[in-house]
Amino acid sequence: MKIYKYDTYDKMSKAAADIVAKQLKEKPDSVICFPSGDSPTGMLTHLVDCANSGKIDLSQCFFVGLDEWVGMDQNDFGSCKHYLHANFFSKLNIAPDHITLFDAKADDLEAECEKMNAFIKSKGGLDMMIVGIGMNGHLGLNEPGTPFDLYAHLSELDPLTVEVGQKYFQQETELTHGITLGLKHLQEAKIPVLIASGIKKAPIIHEALQGLVSTEVPASILQNIKPAIILLDEDAGSELEHGA
């Protein structure tokens, strides 16, 4: 794992976008997983600008969504699908068959997990998997206690995830379960990337990256993933011990 800290959120976001751009130049048909949330917005904005100015070509790339709240789809403000379409897909001319997102309204969610696993496997795995980190150390919706060896799966949401998740919605919303790529996907991704910003993330970043590796802090698995790249703004990395 390599940790990089940047003075500002924008510099961190540009660095994340540059990593994606470099990957696309080396392999135009890369399979890349994007998260939703606050941290990736700047990265997606930079990528949209680069694509629309002709600096990068996204037409051959395959995009995979990291997770979704069960029971929601693109029409639900606050859903992961809504976020990715609003901040990325709607601003670009990407073929629909190059976008694979969880159907969290599917009648058979277990089958939906298997479908996602099969798609990723058929493409030879994820070339890049970008994740944020939750206040409880979750990656995607891999909540505390989640085994490290799972692929896509259903997840019962941790109370802190339910509480913090309300910020994405315009009114209080019942959240109970999620559907998510697993930590096994992260371990097998050719380039695993964590992005985090803001002073609120500083304590969990310290615990995840310099504490004990434990399923109680899912993000701690990153310590065991040699190619992992950690991108932090100054605030998020402010509690890391000297030398990180």
- For the stretch 99-137, pLDDT in tens is 999 999 999 999 999 999 999 999 999 999 999 999 999
Does residue 241 sit within a domain? Answer: no
Q: What is the CATH number of the domain that holds 151?
A: 3.40.50.1360
Query: Could you say which of 143, 158, 233, 235 is catalytic?
Result: 143
Does residue 222 sit within a domain? Answer: yes
Does residue 77 sit within a domain? Answer: yes
Does residue 45 sit within a domain? Answer: yes
Q: How remote is the C-alpha of 79 from its chain's centroid?
A: 14
Q: What's the predicted TM-score (pTM) here?
A: 0.95
Does residue 49 sit within a domain? Answer: yes
Does residue 188 sit within a domain? Answer: yes
pLDDT tens track for 181-230: 999 999 999 999 999 999 999 999 999 999 999 999 999 999 999 999 99
Q: How far apart are CA 174 and CA 61, in angstroms?
A: 34
Query: Could you say which of 87, 112, 136, 158 is catalytic?
Result: 136
Four-residue CA torsion sign, 236, 149, 112, 93: positive
Instruction: Show the domain range for 154.
Output: 2-233
The number of folded domains in the chain is 1
136 among known catalytic residues? yes
185 among known catalytic residues? no
242 among known catalytic residues? no
Query: Could you say which of 67, 112, 127, 158 is catalytic?
Result: 67
Does residue 6 sit within a domain? Answer: yes
177-203 residues labelled b (16+ CB within 10 A) or e (exposed): ebbbbbbbbbbbbebbbbbbbeeebbe
143 among known catalytic residues? yes
Instruction: Give the residue from 213, 212, 231, 229 showing the smallest Cα distance to 221.
Output: 213
